[in-house]
Each structure stands twice: as structure tokens, then as C-alpha cells.
Amino acid sequence: MNIQQELLSVLKDYPDFPKAGIIFKDICPMLSNPAVFKRVMRHMAEHAADCKATHIIGMESRGFLFGMPLAAELGLPFIPARKAGKLPGEVLKQSYTLEYGIDHVEIQKSSVHADGRYLIVDDVIATGGTAAAVAQLVQTGGGTVAGFSFVIELSFLNGRRQLQDLSPKAGVYSLLTL
């Protein structure tokens, strides 16, 4: 089985969660399957190395589940992008539109450096709003977006377009395109 078939065999759909019209992709069965999770991380690590990333940014909260092991595997610093009001010290803040709502995301200002290449990681790209907001934070802080990495891309929402418009030199990688 290739990795895409393997992912399809473990992911579970929850229609109308968290609200009507959304088909929620549940990654929990993947997290509880160490063989599949390891394979996913290996693919993500190969891509991250190709991007020549110097830092990994994971989005709260499911982006942490992939971004943190990726950073540890590659020996790179991990930066959490968090919901508003969670991070201490000086922060950069950006609002964004979700597939199901509006929110704000923050990173610590001191974590972005002019010579840094930041790989932005999350479990799912839907509208691309969350990842775009994080990319804006990196760019506002003076850093470079090295790329975007997702396990699942909901391609019918065309989120990658927004990311490509915002950071034309950064590749958008997803392991499973639906």
C-alpha cells in the first residue's frame, strides 16, 4: 500500500462536525497507529529537508502533533503559532477566516529572524486561512516562508492558491489530496 492508500484506510470522516456542512477529517486513528504515523513523519521530513527550512512552525493545536516531531527529527527549532492571548511577551498577531469561523493567531516576535526560513506545518489545509495568517506573521517579522506542509489537503476549497499568492516562492506540500 502506498502512503496515500494507507492514510485513506485509517482516516475517518465525521459529517456535519463541528457544524452542518463540514465533513471533518479525524486524524486520531492515524495518531494511534504508530506504523502509519512514522511513515507520515518520514515523508514530511524528506520534504522539510528539501525546503532547506531553518525553523518549523506548527499551528495550534493539531499542527503541534506533526510540527514538533518534525522539528525534533530534523534538529530544528520549533515555534508554536497559538490562538490569541496564550503566548507571553511581545507577539505578532494576525486575524484569519476558518472554514468554520474567524480567529486570531499569534507568534512570539523574538522567534522570527531576518535570515530564518520557516516551514509552516498543520494537519489539514482547508481554506488556507490559518496557514496564510501564519505566513503573514513570518513575513511581518522579516522572515522567509520556506514552504507549507500538510498531511491532508481539501483541494476543493483551493486553499493552496491563497498561499501561493502570498508566498510565491514557497512550495505547498500535502501528503494526501482530497
Residues acting as catalytic residues: 62, 99
62 binds ligand AMP (CB under 6 A): yes
The candidate with the shortest Cα–Cα distance to 103, out of 124, 79, 118, 81, is 81
Query: 166: part of which helix (H) or strand (E)?
Result: helix 159-166
Shortest Å distance, C-beta 75 to ligand AMP = 25
Q: Which of 111, 130, 149, 167 binds ligand AMP (CB under 6 A)?
A: 130
3-state secondary structure of 51: coil
159 binds ligand AMP (CB under 6 A): yes
Shortest Å distance, C-beta 104 to ligand AMP = 12
28 binds ligand AMP (CB under 6 A): no
Phi, psi angle pair for 170, to nearest 5° = -90, 130
Kindly tell me the number of DSSP H helices and DSSP E strands found in the chain.
6, 9
* 59 vs 146 by CB, closer to ligand AMP: 59
Q: Is the separation of the CB atoms in 167 and 41 below 8 Å?
A: no
Stretch that binds ligand AMP, among 41-49, 74-82, 106-114, 125-133 (CB under 6 A): 125-133
Q: Is the separation of the CB atoms in 76 and 101 below 8 Å?
A: no
* 116 vs 128 by CB, closer to ligand AMP: 128
122 binds ligand AMP (CB under 6 A): yes
Beta strands (DSSP E) in 36-166 are: 55-59, 78-83, 91-98, 101-108, 117-125, 144-153
Q: Which of 98, 101, 104, 155 binds ligand AMP (CB under 6 A)?
A: 98
Footprint of ligand AMP on this chain (CB under 6 A)? 22-25, 59, 62, 98-99, 122-130, 154, 159
